[in-house]
């Protein structure tokens, strides 16, 4: 079943039929990986354009394309000559559409993905536009939950840390709105609670949620999705230091529980290294899930799956 | 018919038989692209060395190589470690010749391409050496004219903008010297007229040309090749602002005329966006023509076409 | 015969049986190159991670991987986003192990290769860790000696220049400790003599060596391995200038002798260009030997040779 759109810009354009189909194709891509890859996208070229660097996301896209036999043209960082010379993003996209069969773009400005996609003559994937959307991350998070828990419906999911500015928890919330009987535990400092636009979405979808400052509350969930508490968000340094200690997940807290621990990575201390050794720690498997998800999206948007 | 040289450094080394053969092979490469690429250069490696960044040219070369089944090693920008460590360009080329089967190099210094090619043990393509030559751009311009107008002989071509410093209009002028019954209209501010070295070449080849400041004069040509008027060339800012407005091509000026509008891109305002919608606007198709031209050159210099 | 380790971190982990097997496979890889490459590593991905830029080494690894039909994901320089975001090297490796089948890493800090390899779930090759080890360079040096001299045992080898800080002469010394009847001539200014850790290793292995300031003494060796005398090592600029002139190898010195001249490159004046024309000059062939050596290591560590 082809996706009902040419460009993937936001999780908001996805219906449940879409996410189920993407996750189904991603599962079949795991079999492709086990067999050492395929030639499905042989002769196709992905333009991987990172106006701001993101090694993880870029290498994940490039791995996915090559596992399917496709090729890559890539540019990263401020050395983009077209930026120096004052070219518009639209003109860059019109140009790149003449070269590549599909484009993945990361850009620091919110809304840039929509502008770029409109000018792009080939399928376009938003690989993150500033504080805006990062739909492939949300889809790999969803894929991880389904693989690890065997389902997405009927789960209690705790989101922990910087819920105000954390792009990944917003996108995931929108996707969870497609599923049934979801309950959320939102764990954050007062300064970093989930923004109104997300909580009003949750109310509209009748998703029950509690807001708390207590990390322990999150440990009772099926899934705990941890994000970084960002120092730069706090005026008071001491306040940050005090809070930081309250939001460090340790092996002692997790051991013996059924909670699955996820994190979009990179982490910078909010999950202690001793958690890594526990079966609960799903975050490195989660990073790996970016490959089959992106293989699925590349193949589907190119009409090959 | 193989090209009578191993390295492509300048349009000046090309005879009409060469350009015709290159354009003929480029046409056949368009068929290869339609069929989704080929394996003609399978197992070959292109070293794409950009001492100054040029995303457009680099990605175009890398697309071309991969469309023919070849591989890429690439380096761009000041992070070149060999530059940090004081290695000569000749030594870098002797080294890279041990790795790659063919080299494309962009370098900020005029004359660097010739120095590099002399030390290079494999075919070498100049992808722009500062204010010097950029022969693959001139060839794709010529290819665009032939495709869009059905011929190159007997055309009237207007060149507009910065004719003094614009590398592309110089290289194109030299190539047009190989064709019959060409007439040129040279449209520029007084400060940016075509340099003596080019106008004396035109006289030598008996190519009639007129020089004018009037953009409208260019609209009567078969082809209008627009370039950017560069602010940094003017001592008087007000003079620049006044002139800039006189050199903005608009949809209103072009609509209903037969003139083909070309531009090497990036543009920064000298062609208004409403021109894009007219069939006259050839500049994005022109950018796309960089791929089959570079496929042709890679294949020919590697003795495979 | 598979190598008895998963990760290549240092020349110190190599036994003579290992170096002989690596050199044997590298020889067979030269035949693969003559035939235009192979598909031995088709479907495999090399992650080429250069935390500090080293164009030569990076492009050599990427050439090697592609000559065997494998693919590349690559990142170079400070634009590494994971470094900006404070991720540990271990976490980066755990992530990258989810994408690639093998990793080659260059890093500015000594010891980083060992830390990275411990967290890496796939084979890992140290491509240089600051002043530490650079084992693939030492192996290509050894391969060059064997190819050019027909043997390694029973040779007299002069090492010239900065023996104190030159990583390559240290690593090569350790490898030569595996061979029989080696004699060394160590030519350097007093400020840049071979460090105690290396000379005590030589004594332990009963490798006779002489230390001298006289470049001419080195010309009597079978092999002269020249390195750069680094200006920044001298407090007295005049002293540096005086010494520099004493350590410039010229064609006149070498002509008519049997000494093989090697250099890890880049050179910055210590070998005059007129040496290049003599058959003694092995340094560009040496650079080329990096490809078959790295092909051998990639294939062996991936269990394919």
Tell me the CA distances in angstroms from A24 to A260, A276, A291, A299, one per residue in order: 22, 28, 14, 13
If pLDDT is split at 50, 70 and 90, which confidence band does C85 have?
A: low
- Chain A residues with CB-CB distance to C86 below 8 A: 266, 268
Domain A11-133+289-301: assigned CATH number: 3.40.50.1370
- Do residues A96 and B266 touch, judged by C-beta distance below 8 A? no
Give the up-direction half-sphere exposure of residue B301: CA atoms within 13 A in the CB hemisphere. 26
Q: For residue B80, what pLDDT is reported? A: 55
Q: What is the pLDDT of residue A153?
A: 98
Which residues of C are catalytic, by number? 56-57, 85, 106, 134
Which residues does residue B124 pair with via DSSP β-bridges, in sequence order? B103
Calculate helix-pair angle for A16-34, A283-301, nearest 10 degrees.
100
The position carrying tokens 């391409």 is B113
- Does the structure show a pLDDT above 80 at B232? no
| Cβ separation B99–C36 shorter than 8 A | no
**Is 80 exceeded by the pLDDT of residue B109?**
yes
Average pLDDT over every residue of C88-108: 95
Give the model's confidence band at A47: pLDDT under 50 very low, under 70 low, under 90 confident, else very high: very high
Q: How far is CA B213 from CA B161, B217, B258, B265, B273, in A?
A: 9, 9, 21, 22, 23
- Put simply, whether the predicted model's pTM sits higher than 0.90 gets the answer yes
Mean pLDDT within A112-137:
95
Domain ranges of chain B: 11-133+289-301, 135-287
Which residue out of B58, B60, B66, B229 would a mutagenesis test of the A interface target, given it has the greatest number of A Cβ atoms within 10 Å? Answer: B66
Residues A104-120 as b or e (16 or more Cβ within 10 Å = b): bbbbeeeebbbbbbebb
Contacts of A81 in chain B (CB under 8 A): 52-56
Chain A nearest-CA residue for B51: A79
Band the pLDDT of B294: cuts 50, 70, 90.
Answer: very high
Reduced to 3 states, what is the DSSP secondary structure of residue B45? strand
Band of the pLDDT at A217, cuts 50, 70, 90?
very high
Question: How distant, in Å, are the alpha carbons of A47, A106, A118, A301, B23 from that of A122?
Answer: 10, 16, 10, 9, 27
- Chain A residue with minimal CA distance to C51? A55
Chain C residue with minimum CA distance to A32: C43
Residue B84: pLDDT band with limits 50, 70, 90: low
φ, ψ of residue C40 to 5 degrees: the values are -55, -40
- Rama region for C159: left / alpha / beta (φ>0; ψ in -120 to 50; rest): beta
Could you tell me if C143 and C60 are in contact, meaning their C-beta atoms sit under 8 angstroms apart? no
The pLDDT score that the predictor gives to residue B237 is 86
Per-residue pLDDT, B235: 82
Q: Please give the Cα distance from C235 to A259 (Å, whole number).
A: 61
| Cβ-defined contact of A81 to B268 (cutoff 8 Å) | no
Q: Name the pLDDT band for C203 (thresholds 50, 70, 90).
A: very high
The answer, yes or no, to whether residue B231 has pLDDT greater than 90, is no
The pLDDT, as a whole number, for residue B222 is: 98
Chain C nearest CA to A89, separation (Å): 21
Burial class (CB in 10 A: 0-12, 13-18, 19+), A226: buried
* Helices assigned H by DSSP within A177-236: 196-204, 215-218
Which among B44, B106, B107, B294 is annotated as catalytic?
A: B106
How far B139 CA lies from chain A's nearest CA (Å)? 17
Higher pLDDT: C268 or B289? It is B289
CA-based nearest residue to C100, from C62, C128, C132, C136: C62
Subunits close to C (at least 3 CB pairs below 8 A): A, B
Cβ contact, residue pair A71, B66, below 8 Å: yes
- When pLDDT is cut at 50, 70 and 90, the band that residue A239 belongs to is confident
Residues 230-289 of C with CB under 8 A from B: 265-268, 284-285, 287-288
Contact assessment for residue B105 and residue B116, using Cβ atoms and an 8 Å cutoff: yes
Q: Which residue has the higher pLDDT, C299 or B238?
A: C299
- Count chain A–chain B contacts defined by CB atoms under 8 A: 62
Q: A106 catalytic, yes or no?
A: yes
pLDDT class of C80 with cuts at 50, 70, 90: low
CB contact under 8 A, A284 and C98: yes
Query: C71, C80, C92: best mutation site toward chain A, by most A Cβ within 10 Å?
Result: C71
**What are the strands of the beta sheet with B183-187, ordered from one edge?**
B209-212, B183-187, B156-160, B223-226, B260-262
C241-265 average pLDDT score: 93
Q: What is the per-residue pLDDT for B77?
A: 72
Question: Which of B53, B66, B76 is facing A45, going by the closest CB pair?
Answer: B66
Contact A94 B268 (CB under 8 A): no
Q: Which of B35, B85, B197, B237 is catalytic?
A: B85
**pLDDT given for residue A128 in this prediction:** 93
**Sheet with C45-50, side-by-side order of all strands:** C71-76, C45-50, C102-107, C124-129
CB-based contact (8 Å) between C115 and chain A?
A: no
- Rounded CA separation C301/C101 (Å): 10
* B11-133+289-301 shares its CATH topology with B135-287: yes
Candidates C124, C94, C116, C120; CA nearest to A285 is C94
The widest CA-to-CA distance across chain C, in whole angstroms, is 58
The stretch C274-279 carries a mean pLDDT of: 97
- Percent of chain A predicted with pLDDT > 90: 82
C39 CB within 8 Å of a chain B CB: no
Question: Strands, E, within chain B: which ranges?
Answer: 45-50, 71-76, 102-107, 124-129, 156-160, 183-187, 209-212, 223-226, 260-262
Q: Which residues of B touch C284 (CB under 8 A)?
A: 94-95, 98
pLDDT at residue C149 greater than cutoff 70: yes
More confidently predicted of C262 and C78: C262
List the single residue in B with minimal CA-CA distance to A71.
B66
- Residue B177 phi/psi, 5-degree rounding, is -60, -15
Q: Which of A73-82, B139-148, C54-63 is the most confident on average?
A: B139-148
List of chains touching B (3+ CB pairs within 8 A): A, C
Which chain C residues are within 8 Å of A76, Cβ to Cβ? 75, 79
In this complex, is the C-beta atom of A210 within 8 Å of any C-beta atom belonging to chain B? no
Cβ of B87 and C265 within 8 Å?
Answer: yes
Q: Is B85 assigned a catalytic role?
A: yes
Question: What's the pLDDT at C176?
Answer: 97
Instruction: Name the residue facing A54 among C81, C86, C91 (closest C-beta).
Output: C81
Confidence tier at A231 by pLDDT (50, 70, 90):
confident
- Is the pLDDT reported for residue C160 higher than 90? yes
Tell which residue, C176, C189, C192, C195, has the closest CA to residue C215: C189
Average of per-residue pLDDT values in chain B: 94
C55 contacts in chain B (CB < 8 Å): 75, 80-82
Q: What is the C-alpha to C-alpha distance for residues C125 and C132, in angstroms, rounded to an integer?
A: 14
Helices B196-204 and B167-176 sit at what angle, rounded to 10 degrees? Answer: 10
pLDDT at B78: 55
**What is the strand order of the sheet A124-129 is part of?**
A71-76, A45-50, A102-107, A124-129
Is A43–B36 a contact, with Cβ atoms under 8 angstroms apart?
Answer: yes
Residue B177 to residue B163: CA distance in whole angstroms:
17
pLDDT (average), residues B125-135: 91
E strands in A130-231: 156-160, 183-187, 209-212, 223-226
Res. C18: pLDDT tops 80: yes
Three-state SS letters, B247-273: CCECHHHHCCCCCEEECCCCCCCCECH
CA atoms of B86 and C267, how far apart (whole Å): 8
Return the pLDDT at C6: 97
Q: Is 90 exceeded by the pLDDT of residue A102?
A: yes
Q: What is the dihedral of CA B117, B121, B124, B128, to 10 degrees?
A: -40
| B99/C267 touch (CB, cutoff 8 Å), yes or no | no
The per-residue pLDDT of chain A, averaged, comes to 94
Contact A294, A136 (CB under 8 A): yes
Give the integer Cα–Cα distance in Å for C59 and C263. 18
A73 contact residues in B (CB cutoff 8 A): 59, 62-63, 66
Residue A85 pLDDT greater than 70, yes or no: no
User: CA nearest C195: which of C217, C174, C225?
Assistant: C174
How far is the CA of B47 from the CAs of B61, B62, B92, C211, in angstroms?
10, 9, 12, 42
To the nearest whole angstrom, how far is the Cα of B294 from the nearest Cα of chain C? Answer: 21
CA B170 to chain centre: 10
**Per the structure block, which two tokens stand in for B120?**
């290079």
Q: Is the peptide bond before B125 cis (omega within 30 degrees of 0)?
A: no
| pLDDT reported for residue B83 | 54
Say how far apart CA C105 and CA A27 lie, in whole Å.
Answer: 31
Q: How many CB atoms lie within 10 A of CB C212?
A: 15
pLDDT for the residue C188:
95
In this complex, the residue of B77, B287, B290 whose CB is nearest that of residue A79 is: B77
Instruction: Give me the pLDDT at residue C223, please.
Output: 98
Bigger pLDDT: A176 or B78? A176
Give B44 to chain C, closest Cα distance, Å.
Answer: 8
Mean pLDDT, residues A199-207 taken together: 97
* Annotation says B147 is catalytic: no
Q: Which residue of A has its CA nearest to B79?
A: A79
pLDDT category at A78 given cuts 50, 70, 90 is low
Reported as a single tens digit per residue, the pLDDT across A26-45 is 999 999 999 999 999 999 99
Which CATH number is B135-287's, of 3.40.50.1370, 3.40.190.10, 2.40.50.140, 3.40.1160.10?
3.40.50.1370
pLDDT, residue C239, reads 83
With H, G, I as helix, E, B as strand and everything else as coil, classify residue C72.
Answer: strand
Mean pLDDT of B160-173: 93
CA A106 – CA A126 distance, rounded (Å): 7
ipTM over 0.90: yes
- Structural element, H or E, at residue A19: helix A16-34
**Rounded mean pLDDT of B57-74?**
97
Q: Hey, what are A299's tokens? A: 């193949």
Band (B52; pLDDT cuts 50, 70, 90): confident
């Amino acid at each position: 079943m082809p996706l009902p759109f040419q460009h993937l810009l936001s999780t908001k354009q996805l219906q449940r039929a879409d996410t189920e189909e993407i996750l189904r194709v991603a599962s079949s891509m795991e079999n492709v990986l086990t067999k050492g890859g395929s030639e499905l996208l042989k002769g196709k070229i992905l333009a991987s354009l990172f106006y701001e660097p993101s090694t993880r996301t870029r290498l994940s896209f490039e791995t996915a394309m090559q596992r399917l036999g496709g090729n890559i043209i890539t540019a990263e960082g401020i050395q983009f000559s077209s930026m120096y010379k004052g070219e518009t993003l639209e003109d860059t996209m019109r140009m790149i559409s003449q070269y590549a069969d599909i484009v993945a773009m990361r850009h620091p400005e919110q809304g840039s993905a929509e502008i770029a996609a409109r000018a792009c003559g080939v399928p376009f994937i938003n690989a993150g536009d500033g504080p805006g959307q990062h739909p492939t991350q949300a889809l790999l998070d969803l894929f991880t939950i389904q693989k690890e828990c065997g389902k997405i419906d009927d789960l209690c999911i705790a989101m922990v840390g910087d819920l105000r500015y954390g792009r990944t928890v917003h996108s995931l919330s929108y996707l969870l709105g497609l599923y049934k009987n979801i309950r959320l535990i939102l764990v954050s400092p007062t300064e970093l609670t989930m923004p109104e636009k997300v909580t009003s979405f949750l109310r509209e979808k009748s998703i029950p949620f509690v807001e708390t400052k207590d990390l322990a509350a999150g440990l009772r969930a099926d899934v705990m999705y941890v994000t970084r508490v960002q120092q730069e968000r706090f005026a008071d340094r001491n306040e940050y230091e005090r809070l930081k200690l309250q939001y460090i997940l340790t092996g002692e807290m997790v051991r013996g529980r059924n909670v699955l621990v996820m994190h979009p990575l990179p982490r910078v201390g909010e999950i202690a290294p001793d958690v890594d050794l526990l079966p609960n720690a799903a975050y490195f498997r989660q990073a790996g899930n970016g490959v089959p998800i992106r293989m699925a999206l590349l193949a589907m948007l190119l009409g090959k799956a």
